[in-house]
Amino acid sequence: MVTLKLTVLSILFGLVIGSIAGLGKVSKNKLFFGISTTYVEIIRGTPLLVQILIVYFGLPAIGINLQPEPAGIIALSVCSGAYIAEIVRVGIESVPKGLMEAARSLGMSYLQSMRYVILPQAFRNVLPALCNEFIALLKDSSLLSVISIVELTRVGRQIVNTTFNAWTPFLGVALFYLMMTIPLSRLVSYSQRKLGTYEVT
């Protein structure tokens, strides 16, 4: 349950961050575009484990002290947001430009056109990719065990330290992850068939 809670909260915050950064990646505002691009490149270019360590051990050096779970959620959200930003960007760019022109010709502003016309179409296109990001984040949450968060992998390590039996606990951990990821993978496949969408990488 801790693993699921961390993943769900992180993907929700990541969606907000990623949507804003994704809009920045297609923005004509140079400042907005530059900030979004820099954020995406830095986060995608560095390991998640290093980001977790920076948030948990680095922020206290500048006076920001966080408990393990909030630190883990922040690190996962920021990392996920960078990947979601690229998904959002590709989704927006996959929508025919004629739809934007048609919306503007009907008197809609740019923001209204994005909200009511472009983004709904883009979301439909990228839904499978967003589901895949959720699956990837679920597995990546195992890295939070390094900052003492008692999630699934950490519990497995605790059992190993108690029983001195590595095979059974870690096999059990792997099976729990499979129990969570396989249904999600089936959901991705179903959504691709139902919506006729494609995977955005």
d(CA 151, CA 54): 20
Task: Choose the weakest-confidence range: 35-44, 66-75, 188-197.
Answer: 188-197
Quote the CATH superfamily of domain 2-195.
MetI-like (1.10.3720.10)
Average pLDDT over residues 70-84: 96
How many CB atoms within 10 Å of residue 141? 25
pLDDT tens-digit readout, 28-37: 899 999 999 9
How many CB atoms within 10 Å of residue 37? 15
pLDDT tens-digit readout, 36-48: 999 999 999 999 9
pLDDT above 60 for 49? yes
Q: How many CA atoms lie within 13 A of 140 on its CB side?
A: 24
d(CA 165, CA 157): 10
pLDDT above 50 for 200? no
What's the pLDDT at 196? 61
Name the percent of the chain lying above pLDDT 90: 57
Pairwise pLDDT comparison (97 vs 194), residue with the higher score? 97
The overall average pLDDT reported for the chain is: 89
pLDDT tens-digit readout, 139-152: 999 999 898 888 88
Q: How many CA atoms lie within 13 A of 198 on its CB side?
A: 6
What's the pLDDT at 140? 93
**Which are the contacts of 27, defined by CB distance < 8 A and separation ≥ 6?**
33, 36
- Position of tokens 């560095």? 46
pLDDT above 50 for 198? no
Domain ranges of the chain: 2-195
d(CA 166, CA 162): 10
